[in-house]
A and B are shown apart, each in its own frame.
Chain A
């Protein structure tokens, strides 16, 4: 290393940090460290679970939690990209519903499973692209564009399905939710794969790096020569693709395509991203945090069903836990700057 010694008589009034750990371990510690609050909340939920329900700590139950988390988790991966990039996507839930409906019409199903998958991905990506083009090139604020997309996707899904649940008759698609590899449901693998790909893209590619830059300071990114508009549009396509993947997953899990799928998923996804420590204004955030946020939500639901508690109590607790998680998170972050 050809590190030049500074020639100045006066070093700046800042101390050099002690030789840090390796980049990999720093990154891992950083990921968990930034989300200490959420890890604490999850641990607390686990303790409550073990104490109140003897079936909580079983493998089968933990896999149920992961399976429940898989669909909203995949959507949250896309939402994390959009929010770090300085945008917001309210259309995710209904884009997923639309893709699930489109992929399960009698006509689509007649072409077989691959066409169904392609159809879901294409519908998701096309919806995302339309969002992206209107936001990046049409200069309409993301909140409005994606809200409009939410409404129209819902309408289109109702129109195509005739407001009925379309049953998945294709055995391959139906089998996705029932297949297990090494005892673990395929859906959990899919979830893990999307998270892993998302993590690599966000942290280990120029695309991810530019996402942070554009979310952090779009003007600086533009003046550094980045094509901010094209990148912004691409972020919504990523989100749409995640909706397409989630559509296939939910079609398999519920064995239906329906316009009622994904209601309020946009709020769940955004809440998970925010309690995961991503700034709503963009530029900073972690995928690990978002996924922990999703796991907190699904574990809460699981705990309440295991203890046979009412839905209303569930919702009260959910709200309280969101606030608590954010408070703990903020405190943890202040003590480790």
Chain B
């Protein structure tokens, strides 16, 4: 294997933070090189250095045998490095084809040759196994998975020699993941290299060749074989301690009191959904992206209007389409898109935590300075939000801690019904275990919990009862103990087999 990219001793400091502190990385031609590390380990900063968005303070980059510097994103792009960011950087108002050729439009006399762009895009999408995406469709109207595919197509259109993929499967369902992996294998067979970042160790085992592990801005291990390095070893390297991230089993059966009753609920994307959640019970919704599972919880919560059916909390029916009514009745939602739906990123942790319960800290509408910071500090300590500073802006926290902030919000509000949509998306391995333990702990305190997740082991591990959702219908309901991953996968994919 010839080396394509060599990174040695990269250092990058920001005011007050040493984000990278001696990173080494070797990427060979035609390999899938996996980058592992907890949130805050420096992966994102490293990617930005490779993409030319950040200039390192020290260290060397070697590209195809020659020392290089990427003073601008354009320079990195010209050298042949394409980055597919976690937050997709597509222009939602432009068409698929326009996005694919953005910045490299085929043109004659200054006029974009849209027809050529569309032909090129159609070819790339076919190659990616997505011929159903029309090149003229506005990107903003595609699903998250569809947008992901467009990003990959864009990287391919630039004839990149190295593609950096930052958590590409976070928004994909198993089918789409398989498709992506097929594309990655084709690319590497053609000599393209891929730097692959994911929290899912199983994926790394499946697709990766070698692994480099970052911790606290430095490389702690490099060029480990991806398939054979034991999981425990990888986790030890990432966290500096061996962790048990298995989900703790429930210590007691749930109570008898029915807290949440959903009866014959229907919305735009689903119908006939009924289930109950008792105090202390965890009900899991398993299903693919687009199966209607997120729509179901959002409708239960009043964030979408139901076309039929009722939702009762402790026997009292809720007004449909009113989040305020649901929150008053004691519900809380940790939404799927934490940053865009859950958090006020520029505000402090305390202000994020106190949002629904703010009235409690006010006297006749008036708040003292930092009125809620004491209460916020207490609930942050309970959830071990780090750093334990309620005045810190939420955007500076890691994904796992941001998720804890949203949980803390509802813990402080104290309603008794918690709806969790993808509670561990974008959360690193160490924090995942903590969130699992927290959910378990809340259930044991009598909270009725509904969990939605695309990760079947997560649903099976957390839930007492599992509802399998497919194409807007609940196709199966059973105690988690009676199900295994294979069976749920079969049910989830049912339509594909028929």
A contacts B directly in the complex (CB < 8 Å)?
A: yes
Most interface-central of A212, A216, A220, A222 (chain B CB within 10 A): A220
The stretch of A8-16, A238-246, A321-329 in contact with B is A8-16
In the bound complex, residues from chain B placing their C-beta under 8 Å from that of A13 are 17, 40, 216-217
B244 CB to nearest chain A CB (Å) = 13
- Which chain B residues (319-376) contact chain A, with CB distance < 8 Å? 323-324, 326-328, 333, 335, 340-347, 351, 355-356, 358-359, 362, 365-370, 374
CB within 8 Å for A337 and B15 given contacts A11-B386, A14-B387, A222-B323: yes
CB within 8 Å for A213 and B347 given contacts A3-B388, A13-B40, A16-B389: yes
Given the complex of chains A and B, what is the CA–CA distance between A207 and B401 in angstroms?
27
> Which secondary structure dominates chain A's binding surface?
loop
In the bound complex, residues from chain A placing their C-beta under 8 Å from that of B388 are 3, 6
In the bound complex, residues from chain A placing their C-beta under 8 Å from that of B356 are 224-226
Most interface-central of B301, B356, B382 (chain A CB within 10 A): B356
B16 within 8 A of A: yes
In the bound complex, residues from chain B placing their C-beta under 8 Å from that of A27 are 369
In the bound complex, residues from chain A placing their C-beta under 8 Å from that of B384 are 4, 6-8
Given the complex of chains A and B, what is the CA–CA distance between A84 and B129 in angstroms?
45
Most interface-central of B216, B368, B370, B387 (chain A CB within 10 A): B387
In the bound complex, residues from chain A placing their C-beta under 8 Å from that of B362 are 205-206
Interface flags for A188-221 (1: CB within 8 Å of B; 0: not) read: 0000000000001000111101101100110111
B131 within 8 A of A: no
Given the complex of chains A and B, what is the CA–CA distance between A8 and B327 in angstroms?
33
A111 within 8 A of B: no
A58 within 8 A of B: no
Asked whether A213 lies within 8 Å of B344 as measured between CB atoms, the reply is yes
Asked whether B17 lies within 8 Å of A220 as measured between CB atoms, the reply is no
A337 CB to nearest chain B CB (Å) = 6
Q: Nearest B residue to A283 by beta-carbon distance?
A: B346
Asked whether B241 lies within 8 Å of A223 as measured between CB atoms, the reply is no
B479 CB to nearest chain A CB (Å) = 30
- Which chain A residues (299-337) contact chain B, with CB distance < 8 Å? 337
Asked whether A219 lies within 8 Å of B341 as measured between CB atoms, the reply is yes
Given the complex of chains A and B, what is the CA–CA distance between A283 and B348 in angstroms?
12
Select one of B217, B355, B382, B392 contacting A221, CB under 8 A: B355
Q: For the side of the interface on B, what is the size category? A: 35 or more
Select one of B327, B340, B343, B381 contacting A2, CB under 8 A: B381
Asked whether B345 lies within 8 Å of A216 as measured between CB atoms, the reply is yes
Given the complex of chains A and B, what is the CA–CA distance between A139 and B119 in angstroms?
39
B188 within 8 A of A: no
In the bound complex, residues from chain A placing their C-beta under 8 Å from that of B398 are 12
Asked whether A10 lies within 8 Å of B240 as measured between CB atoms, the reply is yes
Asked whether B16 lies within 8 Å of A15 as measured between CB atoms, the reply is yes
B409 within 8 A of A: yes
Given the complex of chains A and B, what is the CA–CA distance between A141 and B374 in angstroms?
39
- Which chain B residues (378-418) contact chain A, with CB distance < 8 Å? 378, 381-382, 384, 386-389, 391-392, 396, 398, 401, 409
Asked whether B341 lies within 8 Å of A12 as measured between CB atoms, the reply is no
Asked whether B377 lies within 8 Å of A224 as measured between CB atoms, the reply is no
Most interface-central of B16, B340, B367, B392 (chain A CB within 10 A): B367
In the bound complex, residues from chain A placing their C-beta under 8 Å from that of B358 are 206, 209-210
Q: Nearest A residue to B413 by beta-carbon distance?
A: A225
B140 CB to nearest chain A CB (Å) = 15
Given the complex of chains A and B, what is the CA–CA distance between A227 and B391 in angstroms?
25
CB within 8 Å for A223 and B369 given contacts A13-B217, A206-B359: no
Select one of A1, A23, A226 contacting B355, CB under 8 A: A226
A164 within 8 A of B: no
B303 within 8 A of A: yes
CB within 8 Å for A217 and B340 given contacts A204-B366, A204-B367, A222-B323: yes
Q: Nearest B residue to A7 by beta-carbon distance?
A: B384
Asked whether B369 lies within 8 Å of A204 as measured between CB atoms, the reply is yes
A20 CB to nearest chain B CB (Å) = 8
In the bound complex, residues from chain A placing their C-beta under 8 Å from that of B62 are none
Select one of B17, B303, B346, B366 contacting A223, CB under 8 A: B303
B86 within 8 A of A: no
A176 CB to nearest chain B CB (Å) = 29
Asked whether B347 lies within 8 Å of A216 as measured between CB atoms, the reply is yes
In the bound complex, residues from chain A placing their C-beta under 8 Å from that of B328 are 225
Most interface-central of B333, B347, B378, B401 (chain A CB within 10 A): B347
B435 CB to nearest chain A CB (Å) = 14
In the bound complex, residues from chain B placing their C-beta under 8 Å from that of A225 are 323-324, 326-328, 355-356
Given the complex of chains A and B, what is the CA–CA distance between A213 and B351 in angstroms?
9
Given the complex of chains A and B, what is the CA–CA distance between A264 and B387 in angstroms?
48
Q: Nearest B residue to A214 by beta-carbon distance?
A: B344
Given the complex of chains A and B, what is the CA–CA distance between A206 and B361 in angstroms?
9
B239 CB to nearest chain A CB (Å) = 6
CB within 8 Å for A204 and B340 given contacts A216-B347, A224-B327: no
- Which chain A residues (1-60) contact chain B, with CB distance < 8 Å? 1-4, 6-17, 20, 23-24, 27
In the bound complex, residues from chain B placing their C-beta under 8 Å from that of A221 are 344, 355
In the bound complex, residues from chain B placing their C-beta under 8 Å from that of A224 are 327, 355-356, 409
CB within 8 Å of A: which residues of B? Answer: 15-17, 40, 216-217, 239-241, 301, 303, 323-324, 326-328, 333, 335, 340-347, 351, 355-356, 358-359, 362, 365-370, 374, 377-378, 381-382, 384, 386-389, 391-392, 396, 398, 401, 409, 430
Which 7 residue pairs are nearest across A and B when measured between Cβ atoms?
Answer: A225-B327, A23-B369, A4-B381, A224-B355, A216-B344, A12-B386, A225-B356
5 A-B contacts (beta carbon < 8 Å) = A9-B239, A14-B40, A20-B391, A222-B323, A283-B346
CB within 8 Å of B: which residues of A? Answer: 1-4, 6-17, 20, 23-24, 27, 200, 204-207, 209-210, 212-213, 216-217, 219-227, 283-284, 337
Task: Known pairs A3-B388, A219-B341; list 15 more (Cβ under 8 Å).
Answer: A2-B378, A3-B377, A4-B381, A9-B241, A10-B239, A12-B387, A13-B40, A14-B387, A17-B389, A23-B370, A204-B366, A204-B368, A220-B344, A226-B356, A227-B324
